[in-house]
A and B are shown apart, each in its own frame.
Chain A
Amino acid sequence: MAKFTLFLVHGIGIHRDPSWADETIEMLAQAWDSTIDLDSTVYDHIDIVPITYDEVFEDYLDDFADLGKAVLSDTLALSSNERGALSKTLSDSKITDKHFLWSYLVDVVLYKMDIVKAQVNALVAKQLYQRISQGSTSDEYGIIAHSLGTRVINDTLQTIQSGTANESNFYQQGYRIKFLMQISDVTDLFSLPLNSDKHPPKDVYPHGTFDYLRTVTNRFDPIARMIPTKLNHWPDGRASDFYMGRSVYQDIMLEHVHETNVHGLTHYMLHPEITDEIFDLCGFGRLLKEPNVRRKAFPVVGPQVQPSLRTALRELIHDAKALADNSWQTYVNLVIRFGDLSTEHGHDQAPQTHHNGSGASA
């Protein structure tokens, strides 16, 4: 077989260009070196392709800022000194800083807007297609999506599948997506706030859109735990099916806490159960070295983490369950408290590139 093509789809936060995935790719490379019984590197066998759609959100946010600035600043007859003073005041007061809530929720709110969603879907479809169409229909393709990306990729695949062969429906051109791994799946979160989903992912299921689905949740990730994956739209019995020697669907529950941002993609990628599953789905399962031993040896609490964080996260989840389920108030409450908790335990608000700090980028 040719190289496996693995797409990575980001979640909420700042992901302006494909370099957002550098750290995740490096973690996959390290996991490959330590777990796969081959002398070659992951890059020799798997093409890892980051997908980026955050530019759409960022462009809208820039527009909003420009419009406000045009009304409040540029059109007022302020001298340049006064404008500078105003800018400094805003900066000193941290009024222009992106709050945790802003960083996490504004992308979700924008994606719920149909004109934004349609543009994001078109952009993601374009990137997927440009890469897939370079390969053969005998090649294999997989997708790992995180957080908001889980919903984005569901919508995009559903839209692609409903189209025609000459409008980038690659399924009708002979291509298949082998697997979709949804990390911190928020697909069903979009029923908030009115308990209704305008565009439910009704046509996304095996074997129409992909062969295998994996949902991955950390027990202490409040975003993922808020509304668990339902798969209500799947045909009866499909979730328990076996296909080509694998279970069609698996829900993988983790419970490690190695960083304050347990929601982050890189935090999920630390766990050998996830990287093992990725390599297995990519076709290298028989080359995994002692998977059970490594998984058992993986510490539940990371070396840099105080046990108090784990306790606090457990309490957060417990308290959230006591609130009214499936309401936007509960969700916002949970996100705010998760932000407070992360801050309290040293989580820096500024976007960072290293998972040790696990910044607002998620």
Chain B
Amino acid sequence: MKTLFFLSVTIGSLLSSAATVACESVLTNTSVQALTIKQAEGKLNRALMSIGGSRGDLANVDDIDCYLQSQTELLPSLKEVSGALTKLGRALDQAGSIEESRMAINIINAKVARDAGSGFVMLPKSDQETIQINLYAEVIGTHCNDEASLMCNQATTLAKNLWWVAGEYRAFADSKNASDKIASLAFNQRLDNQWRSYKDDTIKLWPQEVLLNSLVYRTSDKGLSAPPSYKLLGLRPSLGLSYLSDQRHRIQPTLNLDILGVYWWRYGGDNGVTAQPGRGISASLVWDGDDTAYGMTYHHNPKWSATIAHGDENDVVFSISFQLAHWLVAR
């Protein structure tokens, strides 16, 4: 990251001073050792494998442009590359707004790539087109053979520098995407917390309710989806303590069932992602072992609910959840 920051500063300052630095000072090979093709491949391989391979003495856009133009005898296609690459670098460097930066990052991301395994680099050669260069075959293979030569040395340096240039251009984005990265990290954490709260801090779902809610839930067309602020209740069993107006033993346990309902809440708390207790309502039935009464249930929170129902023979059923009953008895 230190390297990239330096690159950004260097580009900015040198662009404004009209790039008077000679390209030889940055990327030129000073070695005079003659190389064979085997030695050249070994050198390139080590360069591609090296960890943290970016060099400290970074060039700027104009230096890179100057260097690439000076190497067109070794690789003629660089004539087209240098101009297109420089244009891209300037676009990103001069991008003022976040939108301009994103646009330039997208272009570089699509047009500049490198693959250490295959030894390829991809660079732009116009606004629309790219060129893929096989560093082993097209650069070293063209200028090296079993006989050691200085030309082979130059070709090896060019191959290593093309690899380096592609890496540095790809790294340009690092100096421009900081605000999006900070926002994304916060977004991901918020979304994860919200989903956990959806599942754990509100009424728990039975398997059939997971299916029911999934049928109704609509994911976002764009990006990751946030959880809803409701849960549908369906065929939800619970035990209740009920008052039955027509029974001799008027208070007794019953099986209560939320036939269909909804439970809703708001997200709040310090971070705005914690589901508040909420409440719900549902159509329900109460079964005492013999008769069934139908009515409405009010869920005061995930644990406590109350039901009022009407039976077959005009009898009235009032039922509360076992949790509420325990709480009342305990008091």
Q: A residues bordering B, Cβ < 8 Å?
A: 1-3, 38, 44-45, 59-60, 63-64, 66-67, 71, 75-76, 110, 112-119, 121-123, 125-126, 129-130, 133, 136-138, 140, 159-160, 162-176, 178, 199, 207, 211, 243-246, 280-287
Is B100 positioned at the interface, with any CB of A under 8 Å from its CB?
Answer: no
Q: Are B173 and A137 in contact (CB under 8 A)?
A: yes
Q: Are B217 and A114 in contact (CB under 8 A)?
A: yes
Q: A1-B167, A119-B199 are in contact. Are A282 and B117 (CB under 8 A)?
A: yes
Q: Are B322 and A75 in contact (CB under 8 A)?
A: yes
Q: Of the candidates B1, B195, B207, which one forms a contact with A64 in the assembled complex, judged by CB atoms under 8 Å apart?
A: B207
Q: List 10 A-B contacts (CB under 8 A).
A: A1-B53, A122-B224, A126-B192, A136-B174, A166-B184, A169-B184, A174-B176, A211-B113, A244-B118, A285-B117
Q: Are B192 and A67 in contact (CB under 8 A)?
A: no
**Assembly CA distance A169 to B105 (angstroms):** 12
Is B266 positioned at the interface, with any CB of A under 8 Å from its CB?
Answer: no
Closest Cβ of chain A to B96, distance in Å, is: 16
CB-CB under 8 A from B185, the residues of chain A are 129-130, 133, 168
**Assembly CA distance A280 to B119 (angstroms):** 11
**Assembly CA distance A114 to B199 (angstroms):** 13
Q: B residues bordering A, Cβ < 8 Å?
A: 1, 4, 45, 48-54, 102, 105-106, 108-110, 113-120, 122, 132, 134, 167-168, 170-174, 176-177, 179-181, 183-185, 187-189, 191-192, 195, 198-200, 204-207, 210-211, 213-215, 217-219, 221-225, 227-228, 237-239, 322
Q: Of the candidates B177, B213, B221, B227, which one forms a contact with A173 in the assembled complex, judged by CB atoms under 8 Å apart?
A: B177
**Assembly CA distance A71 to B323 (angstroms):** 11
CB-CB under 8 A from B120, the residues of chain A are 244-245
Q: Are A1 and B50 in contact (CB under 8 A)?
A: yes
Q: Are A136 and B1 in contact (CB under 8 A)?
A: yes
Q: A122-B191, A174-B105 are in contact. Are A284 and B217 (CB under 8 A)?
A: no
Q: Are B188 and A129 in contact (CB under 8 A)?
A: yes
Q: Of the candidates B108, B110, B188, B218, which one forms a contact with A168 in the assembled complex, judged by CB atoms under 8 Å apart?
A: B188
CB-CB under 8 A from A199, the residues of chain B are 219
Q: A138-B167, A174-B109 are in contact. Are A1 and B118 (CB under 8 A)?
A: no
CB-CB under 8 A from A173, the residues of chain B are 105, 173, 177, 180-181, 184
Closest Cβ of chain A to B114, distance in Å, is: 8
Q: Are B115 and A245 in contact (CB under 8 A)?
A: yes
Q: Of the candidates A45, A76, A123, A246, which one forms a contact with B118 in the assembled complex, judged by CB atoms under 8 Å apart?
A: A246
List 6 additional contacts besides A75-B322, A137-B174, A287-B49; criterion CB under 8 Å. Answer: A63-B199, A129-B185, A137-B173, A167-B184, A170-B184, A174-B172
CB-CB under 8 A from A175, the residues of chain B are 109, 173
Q: Are B210 and A113 in contact (CB under 8 A)?
A: yes
Q: A160-B224, A245-B134 are in contact. Are A165 and B102 (CB under 8 A)?
A: yes
Q: Are A2 and B52 in contact (CB under 8 A)?
A: yes
* Smallest CB gap from B132: residue in A: A244
Q: Are A133 and B205 in contact (CB under 8 A)?
A: no
Q: Are A245 and B118 in contact (CB under 8 A)?
A: yes
Q: Of the candidates B117, B204, B322, which one forms a contact with A284 in the assembled complex, judged by CB atoms under 8 Å apart?
A: B117
Q: A119-B195, A174-B105, A286-B45 are in contact. Are A167 and B183 (CB under 8 A)?
A: yes
Closest Cβ of chain B to A353, distance in Å, is: 27
**Assembly CA distance A326 to B314 (angstroms):** 53
CB-CB under 8 A from A171, the residues of chain B are 109
CB-CB under 8 A from B217, the residues of chain A are 114-115, 118
**Assembly CA distance A82 to B109 (angstroms):** 66
* Smallest CB gap from A45: residue in B: B51
Q: Are A115 and B213 in contact (CB under 8 A)?
A: yes
Q: A138-B167, A244-B113, A244-B122 are in contact. Are A118 and B227 (CB under 8 A)?
A: yes
Q: Are B4 and A163 in contact (CB under 8 A)?
A: no
Q: Are B109 and A176 in contact (CB under 8 A)?
A: yes
Q: Are B223 and A159 in contact (CB under 8 A)?
A: yes
Instruction: With a 10 A CB-CB cut-off, give which of A118, A133, A164 has the most chain B CB atoms.
Output: A118
Q: A115-B213, A116-B214 are in contact. Are A137 and B224 (CB under 8 A)?
A: no
Q: Are B177 and A137 in contact (CB under 8 A)?
A: yes
CB-CB under 8 A from B118, the residues of chain A are 244-246, 285
Closest Cβ of chain B to A268, distance in Å, is: 21
Instruction: With a 10 A CB-CB cut-off, give which of B105, B115, B117, B237 has the most chain A CB atoms.
Output: B117
CB-CB under 8 A from B210, the residues of chain A are 60, 110, 113, 115-116
**Assembly CA distance A211 to B114 (angstroms):** 11
CB-CB under 8 A from B45, the residues of chain A are 286-287
Q: Of the candidates B113, B177, B181, B187, which one forms a contact with A176 in the assembled complex, judged by CB atoms under 8 Å apart?
A: B113
Q: Are B48 and A283 in contact (CB under 8 A)?
A: yes
Instruction: With a 10 A CB-CB cut-off, give which of A125, A167, A246 has the most chain B CB atoms.
Output: A167
**Assembly CA distance A174 to B106 (angstroms):** 6
CB-CB under 8 A from B219, the residues of chain A are 114, 117-118, 199
Q: Are B4 and A136 in contact (CB under 8 A)?
A: yes
CB-CB under 8 A from B117, the residues of chain A are 246, 280-286
CB-CB under 8 A from A243, the residues of chain B are 132
Q: Of the candidates A3, A114, A174, A245, which one forms a contact with B174 in the assembled complex, judged by CB atoms under 8 Å apart?
A: A174
**Assembly CA distance A174 to B168 (angstroms):** 12
Q: Are A166 and B171 in contact (CB under 8 A)?
A: no
CB-CB under 8 A from B239, the residues of chain A are 71, 75-76
Q: A1-B51, A125-B224 are in contact. Are A136 and B171 (CB under 8 A)?
A: yes
Q: Are A126 and B188 in contact (CB under 8 A)?
A: yes
